[in-house]
Structure 1
Amino acid sequence: MNVSELEATLETAGFSPYQASAYVALLELGAATVPEIAEKSGVPDSRLYDVLRTLESEGYVEVYEQESLRARIHDHEKLQARLRERAGRFSDARKEIERRWEEPPVEETVVNAVTRFETVLESAADAIEASDTQVELAVSPEQYRTLRPALQTASENGTSIYLAISTPDGEALPDPESVAAVCTEARHRELPSPFVAIVDRSKVYFAPHTGSANEYGLIVDDRTHAYVFHWFFLTSQWAVWEPIGAGERASTDYLDIRYLVRDLVPLLEDGKTVRVHVDGADTESGQQRTVEGIVRNVVHSGAGGTGSGSAARNGRVTLELETNSGTVEVGGWGALVEDVEAHRLRVESVT
């Protein structure tokens, strides 16, 4: 390393250019007079006095009188320690830059914890009333009655509503006709259940079931969290329980493409022709899109299979529909490679 490179390194460590030049000159001269240091370093005499006093105050050089004003290195180990510290910080910075470059971006999410269940219920009611796609809701009869006006509004707006009503203590269920008027389908769960509302695949409202030792609520605005709660709803609040009421669309409507595939594959293997109607979103534009056509193929990858026992829960699931405008690929929640992300699927006919 030449003199220029050494001075540049000291500047990186926090020295001023004049301080770096004076210090390197003293390393070569040893003890020297101010004029000697000025000549060797190139630092003007008028500035050199202040430079040496500053280096002295920081413990790097010693300035003393011996016939004339002189200076020498006081403690080179102190500077070496400073350089080692800086080197460590640069190394840490390099590793952090590499980590941040390689790790996937973190989406911003909104997760709020609240202490009052009423806050969760009121927020869920507002979201349900404003929904335009889908609501999945697990409630007690009392909670259902509180939310029924919001469900009525959402149903009138064309929202698909899947309602699981829990009665662990034998409480009477609401009137089935009343329930059918405000939902696509309702089911009866006979075990304790937390309050869960998943609205438009992006908002989640959650609170533990009554009697839980933990009293809190979560209000979440994030599609990834919503997807996790969606599968919690499907597997524990919905799939294993019997229907108690249904609207006009319920008999052939599906919450998730994987449950449609579970029932569809045996029909296709038996040579049936199945026409499916899909309400969803275009994966490129994000705009709402409706398609209808004959199922020509089911693409499934990953473990778990498409049999009736698996619900096709793992891997990619895609329907290839032959429509009037050509072949359209339909995927499930979070579809990327397909043409349409399905929000609601309905079997129109089986022949």
Structure 2
Amino acid sequence: METESLVETLEAAGLSPYQAEAYVALLNLGTASATDVADASGVPAPRIYDVLRSLEDLDYIETYEQGSLRARAHSPSIVLDDLRRRATRLEEAAEEVEQRWEEPELEAGDASIVTRFRTVVERAESFIDEATHQILLSTTVEHLQELTPALRRATERGVSVRVSVHTEKEDLPPTRDLFEGVCLEARHRPLPAPFVALADRRRASFAHHPDSYDRYGVLVNDRTHTYVFYWYFLTCLWEPWGTVYDATGDGLPAEFLDVRHLVRALDDIAWEQSPVRIKVEGQWTDTGEECTVEGTVVDVRVPFGSEAEMGFELAGQVTVDLDVDGDFVSIGGWGALVEDIEATRLTMVESPER
């Protein structure tokens, strides 16, 4: 590095122009009088004494009297440590600037476009850590492993977690141990897919496959937009694919992802012939207040032509009516408008007769 460039770099690291000039001159001279340093550096003679003492205060040099004020550079280890600390702070500042530019704080109702896939995964992790009800995740094995600690914490605090893992067609299906303690249920899609993380029906973190041409991500803090991502997750990333892990077991209680899944299960067990009791966690559609009710199924309203056609249908209203201590309460799924409760968690529990 040329002398001029070294001086400029030391200035950028925090030294004043005079300090940088004097220090570089002293490095070249070894030991010298204040006058010689002034002559070699171009620092005005009246200023050289103050400049040398300021460098001594920084532990860059030491001064001593020998007929006149003289100076010599300290071992460069002190200077090197200082410069490296400054370099580290600059690097951290650069990363912080990039992060703040890439990760704007999401206010309610916000949606943001980001350009780094890394940002999408990092924001998904924060969504998972803040979730209280439900997490739906579409991811690769690699990113699932990265998010596993956050998913475990969510599962431990009672959040309902479901994961769709996608792999290349030639890859083996993921093993059960990948999901133990991480989620309630997992499915495997043997095709590449976008990264999708949905938290509490309000927050969404989405990005195309990292190898795709369009490399951008979307961050959402809004129920309406997240609802669109939910249907994409349900129809393309969840419903068509086989289950590879299920922690719910075959007996009761049994938890369901959506009211449509509950209806399908009710049909399978012929609910009209044997009372079935359902616990519902959700919110009242008229006030938005959270609620928990438990009651017996008294009716199932579906948009199908006959019971024989009953299955997982995507269109139309699906409602489950409960008798809750003598009151009839209607239960709908995400986005429910005409029902009494929008369910966020549906659990089939033991009926009184069983």
Name the TM-score class by shorter chain. Answer: 0.5 to 0.7
Q: In the TM superposition, what are the counterparts of 1:155-194 in structure 2 within 5 Å?
A: 155-171=155-171, 174-194=174-194
For these two proteins, the number of residue pairs brought into alignment is 243
Partner of 1:330: 331
Where does residue 342 of structure 2 map in the other structure? 341
Contact 1:166 1:190 in 2 (8 A): yes
- 1:341 and 1:209, CA in 2 relative to 1: closer, same or farther beyond 3 A? same
- SS of the residue corresponding to residue 124 of structure 1 reads helix
Check if 1:299 corresponds to 2:307. Answer: no
Deviations 1:136-172 (A, max 9, x none): 1000000101111111111112111110111115445
Match of 2:110 in 1: 110
1:212 match: secondary structure: coil
Per-residue deviation, 1:323: 2.2
User: Residues 208 and 214 of structure 2 are in contact (CA less than 8 Å); yes or no, is this contact kept in structure 1?
Assistant: yes
Q: Distance in 2 between matches of 1:133 and 1:323?
A: 22
> Between Structure 1 and Structure 2, whose CA radius of gyration is higher?
1
Which position in structure 2 is the counterpart of 1:93?
A: none
Report SS of the residue matched to 1:225.
helix
Aligned to 1:263: 265
Tell me the alpha carbon deviations over residues 71-90 of structure 1, each in whole angstroms, 9 at most, x when there is no partner. Answer: xxxxxxxxxxxxxxxxxxxx
Q: Which residue of 1 aligns with 2:285?
A: 283
In structure 2, the residue matched to 1:52 is: none
Superposed CA RMSD: 2.5
CA distance in 1, matches of 2:114, 2:230: 21
Unaligned runs of 5+ in 2: 1-107
Which digits, 9 at most, give the CA deviation of each residue in 1:282-331, with x for residues without a partner? 22332322222211001235x78776665232222221111235222111
Note the alpha carbon deviations across 1:172-208, whole angstroms, 9 max, x for none.
5554134131111111111111101111101111111
SS in 1 for 2:240: coil
Distance 2:221 2:202 in 1: 6
Q: Deviation at 1:109?
A: 3.6
Query: 1:74: which partner in 2?
Result: none
> Which is further off, 280-289 or 137-146?
280-289
Taking structure 2 as the reference length, the TM-score comes to 0.62
Amino acid at match of 2:146: T
Q: Tell me how far 1:271 sits from its aligned partner.
A: 2.4
Q: Is the aligned partner of 1:237 residue 2:237?
A: yes
Q: Give the unaligned 5+ runs of structure 1.
A: 1-107
1:129 aligns with 2:129: yes
| Equivalence for 2:316 | 315
Distance 1:304 1:232 in 2: 25
The separation in 2 between residues aligned to 1:134 and 1:172, in whole angstroms, is 28
Q: Which amino acid is 2:336 matched to? A: A
1:277 Cα deviation after fit:
1.9
Q: What is the SS of the residue equivalent to 2:226?
A: helix
Residue identity opposite 1:255 in structure 2? L
Whole-Å Cα distance in 1 between the matches of residues 180 and 225 of structure 2?
29
Aligned twin of 1:151: 151
Aligned residue identity for 1:338: E
Q: What is residue 142 of structure 2 aligned with on the other side?
A: 142
CA distance in 2 between partners of 1:308 and 1:293 (Å): 26
Show the counterpart of 1:220. Answer: 220
User: Corresponding residue for 1:210?
Assistant: 210
Are 2:175 and 2:244, in contact at CA under 8 Å, matched by a contact in 1?
Answer: no
* TM-score normalized with structure 1 length: 0.63
Question: Percent identical across equivalent pairs?
Answer: 39
| Counterpart secondary structure, 1:120 | helix
C-alpha spacing 1:167/1:119, structure 2 compared with 1 (3 Å): same
Q: Is the 8 A contact 2:333 2:342 kept in 1?
A: yes
In the superposition, relative to structure 1, how do residues 250 and 166 fare at CA in structure 2: closer, same or farther (>3 Å)? Answer: farther
For 2:328 and 2:337, how far apart are their aligned partners in 1? 17
Relative to structure 1, the CA distance from residue 306 to residue 215 in structure 2 (aligned partners, 3 Å threshold; closer, same or farther) is: farther
CA contact (8 A) 1:262 1:312 kept: no
